[in-house]
Amino acid sequence: MTFRRLRPGPSARAARPRPAPRRLLLAAGTVLALLLLCLGALPTGSQAAAATQPCDIYAAAASPCVAAHSTVRALYSGYDGPLYQVTRASDGATRDIGLLAAGGYANAAAQDSFCAATSCTITRIYDQSPRHNDLTVEPAGTAGAADRPAQATALPLVAGGHKAYGVLITPGTGYRHTDASGVAVGDQPESMYMVTSGTHVNGGCCFDYGNAEHTISDTGNGHMDAVYIGTRCHNPPCTGAGPWVAADLENGLYQGSGNNPANRGNATPFVTALLKNNGRTAFALKGGDARSGALSTWWDGALPSGGYTPMHLEGSIVMGTGGDNSNASAGSFYEGVMTSGYSTDAADAAVQANIVAAGYSGGSDGTSGRTISAPGGTCVDVDGDDIGVDHAAVQLWQCQPAAVDQHWTHDADNSLRTLGRCLDIMGNATAAGTKVQLWDCNGVGGQKWVQQPDGSLRNPQSGRCLDTPSGATANGTRLQIWDCNGSAAQQFGLT
């Protein structure tokens, strides 16, 4: 378990030259027109379809979407297809999760029903654009083994008053579409944004969304063009502790053409992270709170030297990893689009207004459950840095507020869940001393835990309680079941 830090950072708008009065007037008029288009028929508490969504805005500004991915909502007003596919652990069956209404929000109840009493993973994220650039689980690359799919219930949230699920990226999780249709190649211009989190981040490489190599390998500077968020500072010194929105241009996470102290980071729970690149000379970075306000421009200037002018794009799409499948990153993904062409500032502003009106709220980092306090002032924790694979040991560890794997939900079936899996007695055994682990939720007796008046967590099937061996409290102490005895070693509180 690595130590996780969460430090909020202020946002600021980078200084830019003041435009000439006529250009300012025209730009203001364009912004107003697009904002009126965006705000004229936004979704309300009902499921009436929006008259305009991000890809409608970009299309009207002559930079149409060539990729549009979201597990939360439609990114076109007329879209009424599937958002994503889940695969059930119990039998390998799949289900497409669609919308409550055309142009609206995800039908999370369909996922909940399909995945009841088991676990599900997200195995496909559908492209809503006519290009059909669907994202599937990323195969092995030169910097990482084949990835895992995200757990489907690990990132619950609320959008527009409706329950939905995001994609929780933990180390070893990632998605890709190789050789996508319509995505920029060579030095063609493009733009992209993602709605993500500024609180579920790390410094591992690299939580990206955007243009990547065809071969899942590092083919050189300028062969990537992806928007990044995280705490990795490539050109120090960086302002504050991050996380920062940056451009992953391959072999560099650029906040500008070099060091850029004007980039003050985006640490809000929901972040809009935007990158656009003209392919030859310049790029721009913007970021803002996805719940309110406008975007801040962190950079609008020259591309870095050293192989980036011009770019050498290969036209694949990556989400959650680097171009060579560097997959040590953590992040949250809710929606993202890529466009053909360099978007206008007016369109970017209108898209941000649309995102704000979408009403993102609730958990943005997977910590929406409750911690389980344990002996010695520790917390119940899963071995590894928010990875949570089957067989992962459940243990004691110092409490860390930003640790996803220390936040559990106690469901109506008496299961305790984190990272989309359940607290499980190994082999569904009942003997004293049997260790506990994380495992796919399957409704067996070894996954039932009932809080007792004395503070213990009792497993009814075995009649035994969750226990720390011999009362140990050190980090990494593996938990077990033992005869219920009311001792301090069995005091676990859902807080």
Q: Are residues 391 and 246 in the same domain?
A: no
Domain membership of residue 11 (yes or no) is no
State the pLDDT at residue 224.
98
Catalytic site residue 56? no
Is the pLDDT higher at 16 or at 95? 95
- Residue 46: band (very low, low, confident or very high) from pLDDT cuts 50, 70, 90: very low
What pLDDT digit, counting tens, does each position of 290-299 carry?
Answer: 999 999 999 9
Q: Are residues 344 and 400 in the same domain?
A: no
Q: Are residues 305 and 199 in the same domain?
A: yes
State the pLDDT at residue 199.
92
Query: Which of these three, 295, 329, 361, is where a domain ends?
Result: 361
Q: Are residues 248 and 396 in the same domain?
A: no
The residues, ordered by sequence, that sit 6+ positions from 195 with a Cβ below 8 Å of its Cβ are: 72, 270, 271, 272, 273, 290, 333, 334, 335, 336, 355, 360
Domain membership of residue 432 (yes or no) is yes
- Residue 325: band (very low, low, confident or very high) from pLDDT cuts 50, 70, 90: very high
Peptide bond into 206 cis (omega under 30): yes
Q: Are residues 394 and 284 in the same domain?
A: no
Q: Are residues 219 and 286 in the same domain?
A: yes
Lowest mean pLDDT among 8-12, 232-236, 249-253: 8-12
Pick the catalytic residue: 250, 365, 381, 467?
250
Residue with tokens 């910097």: 143
Q: Are residues 149 and 188 in the same domain?
A: yes
Domain membership of residue 15 (yes or no) is no
Is the pLDDT higher at 492 or at 4? 492
Task: Report residue 35 CA to chain centroid gap.
Answer: 27
Q: Are residues 313 and 395 in the same domain?
A: no
On the question of pLDDT at 3 being above 50, the answer is: no
The rounded percent of the chain whose pLDDT value lies above 90 is 84
Q: Are residues 350 and 421 in the same domain?
A: no
State the pLDDT at residue 50.
54
State the pLDDT at residue 473.
96
Q: Are residues 463 and 315 in the same domain?
A: no
Catalytic site residue 190? no
What pLDDT digit, counting tens, does each position of 54-94 carry?
Answer: 999 999 999 999 999 999 999 999 999 999 999 999 999 99
Task: Report residue 483 CA to chain centroid gap.
Answer: 41
Which amino acid, one-letter code, is at 269?
P
Lowest mean pLDDT among 58-62, 374-378, 388-392, 479-483: 388-392
Q: Are residues 336 and 393 in the same domain?
A: no
Its domain, for residue 227, covers: 29-361
On the question of pLDDT at 159 being above 70, the answer is: yes
Domain membership of residue 3 (yes or no) is no
Q: Are residues 351 and 402 in the same domain?
A: no
Rounded CA-CA distance 495/493 in Å is 6
Query: What is the reported pTM?
Result: 0.86
Pick the catalytic residue: 138, 190, 314, 324?
324
Domain membership of residue 381 (yes or no) is yes
Residue range 120-133: mean pLDDT, rounded: 98
